[in-house]
Structure 1
Amino acid sequence: MTLSPEAIETLKNVTTATLTTILLKKGLRNVWIRGAMPLEEDQERLVGPAFTLRFVPAREDLATPAAWSKPISTRTAIEDMPEGCIAVIDAMGITDAGVFGDILCARMRKRGVSALITDGVVRDGKGVLGTGLPVWARGVAAPPSVAGLTFVGWGETIGCGGVAVIPGDIVVADSDGAVVIPQALLEEVLAEAPAQEEMEGWIVEEVERGEKLPGLYPMNEETKARYAAYLKEKQGRTS
């Protein structure tokens, strides 16, 4: 899926926390990838379509260094990644074998991949950070992937951090982790997210002014009327 620059810009200005609230209202509770947190502090919010990769438990006849040269390999998968995508890797939460290291991340960066997200870990942590590729993971580990994982393919539905991820789903990742937006709901989210973000910002301002939470969050009818008046006044100032 190709995201428009306008869609990317809109989502870059919406927190993952706000997105989970919007998706919850639509009945989706399980959209936050567990364990995937940014390796670098102050990582900027990133948006992109999911490019999925999947590992299964290591099997000694398959998970060998020789597997890295086979047609179905992480190396081949990287060459299939389109510019702007976010690689989402199902590592089953295993934390004692790094899915990717600095060389693979450097190649991803060269191909214009936006980020790597996994419920596992990466290796060569300092080198990975040095590539400039943003990474969300459970951490780092020295052993290579074949020490605990077998790579089996890419471009299929996966489970990452307990979340179903379909190729082309939209991923938004920031300091609170990574959230998956189903393709079918993208337009609705784009339409609602800025308004939700603005409303929550107004509520925070009201709290700072000393307002009590009951009736404010969530809003009762009186608060809704005050907020509507605020929006009308704001529109008048900008028109």
Structure 2
Amino acid sequence: MPLDANAVATLQAVSTATITTILLKKGLRNVWMRGTRPIRDGQPRLVGPAFTFRFVPAREDLATPASWSSPISTRAAIEAMPEGAIAVVGANGVTDAGIFGDILCARMAKRGVAALVTDGVVRDLAGVLGTGLPVWCSGQAAPPSVAGLTFVGWQEPIGCGGVAVFPDDVVVVDDDGAVLIPQALLPEVLAEASEQERMEEWIMQEVGKGAALPGLYPMNAETKARYESDKKG
């Protein structure tokens, strides 16, 4: 499900840290995917619908090189990905078998996939970097996925970094990692995101002027009134 361009533009201007604060206020504490670190410095903040890949622990009769030619394979899943989607791969935290290498990442880049997010690792690191595909992961390892994982399907609910991810949930990635916005809460997050970011920027300006934190962060009534006045002016 493609995201509205206005929604993408709004979220690209809001940090994942701010999004976690907004969701915390709504009772959601577990939205940051553990182990999702940017593979290179300077990757842009990206926004997209989650396209999920599901791995389970390796079973020797299923996790074989022959499985790469199966109708249920990572290769088939990649061909089903729409442009602009973010691949979210649940790897059960396995870090000694790479879920994807350079060839699969190159194909995703060619298809216009926005990014790859996983709590696992990639392989063929130099080649993956060369594809230009933005990646958030836990590192790299030489062995292929079948050395530690069995691929079982795509566009199903998964766990990634301890977070429940459903197809078409919204994913935002930046230097702090990957954060999930449940699709049903997207309108509320969009309504509050820009204001939260604006408020925190104002607080930072006040800190820069030497303001003390009590009554500023969080704001008391007096500070809130001053903020509202500055915002109008």
The TM-score by the shorter chain falls in which range?
Answer: over 0.9
Question: 1:150: how far off?
Answer: 0.5
2:111 corresponds to: 111
Cα distance in 2 between the residues matched to 1:43 and 1:205? 26
The AA in structure 2 aligned to 1:179 is V
1:192 aligns with 2:185: no
2:213 corresponds to: 213
Cα distance in 1 between the residues matched to 2:232 and 2:128? 49
SS in 1 for 2:100: coil
SS in 2 for 1:59: coil
Question: 1:232: how far off?
Answer: 1.3
Question: 1:204: how far off?
Answer: 0.4
* Structure 2 unaligned residues grouped into runs of 5+: none
1:37 corresponds to: 37
Cα distance in 1 between the residues matched to 2:94 and 2:73? 19
1:79 corresponds to: 79
2:5 corresponds to: 5
Q: How does 1:30-179 map to 2 (within 5 A)?
A: 30-179=30-179
1:236 corresponds to: none
Q: CA RMSD in A?
A: 0.5
The AA in structure 2 aligned to 1:54 is R
Residue deviations 1:180-219, cap 9 Å, x none?
A: 0011111111111000000000000000100000000000
Question: 1:156: how far off?
Answer: 0.5
Query: What's the TM-score once normalised by structure 2's chain length?
Result: 0.99
Cα distance in 2 between the residues matched to 1:2 and 1:64? 34
SS in 1 for 2:123: coil
Query: What's the TM-score once normalised by structure 1's chain length?
Result: 0.97
Cα distance in 1 between the residues matched to 2:208 and 2:229? 19
The AA in structure 2 aligned to 1:137 is C
SS in 2 for 1:88: strand
SS in 2 for 1:142: coil
The AA in structure 2 aligned to 1:161 is G
Cα distance in 1 between the residues matched to 2:228 and 2:144? 56
The AA in structure 1 aligned to 2:136 is W
Question: 1:140: how far off?
Answer: 0.5
SS in 2 for 1:128: helix
2:203 corresponds to: 203
Question: 1:42: how far off?
Answer: 1.2
Question: 1:110: how far off?
Answer: 0.7
Residue deviations 1:43-84, cap 9 Å, x none?
A: 110000000001111111111100000000000000000110
The AA in structure 1 aligned to 2:122 is V
SS in 2 for 1:53: strand
SS in 1 for 2:207: helix
- Structure 1 runs of 4+ with >4 Å offset: none
Question: 1:2: how far off?
Answer: 1.5
Cα distance in 1 between the residues matched to 2:125 and 2:205? 40
Cα distance in 2 between the residues matched to 1:24 and 1:194? 16
Residue deviations 1:134-175, cap 9 Å, x none?
A: 000000000000011100100100010000000000000000
The AA in structure 2 aligned to 1:52 is T
SS in 2 for 1:21: helix
Cα distance in 2 between the residues matched to 1:30 and 1:164? 9
The AA in structure 2 aligned to 1:18 is T
1:226 corresponds to: 226
The AA in structure 1 aligned to 2:208 is E
Cα distance in 2 between the residues matched to 1:2 and 1:95? 31
How many residues matched? Answer: 233
Cα distance in 1 between the residues matched to 2:184 and 2:74? 29
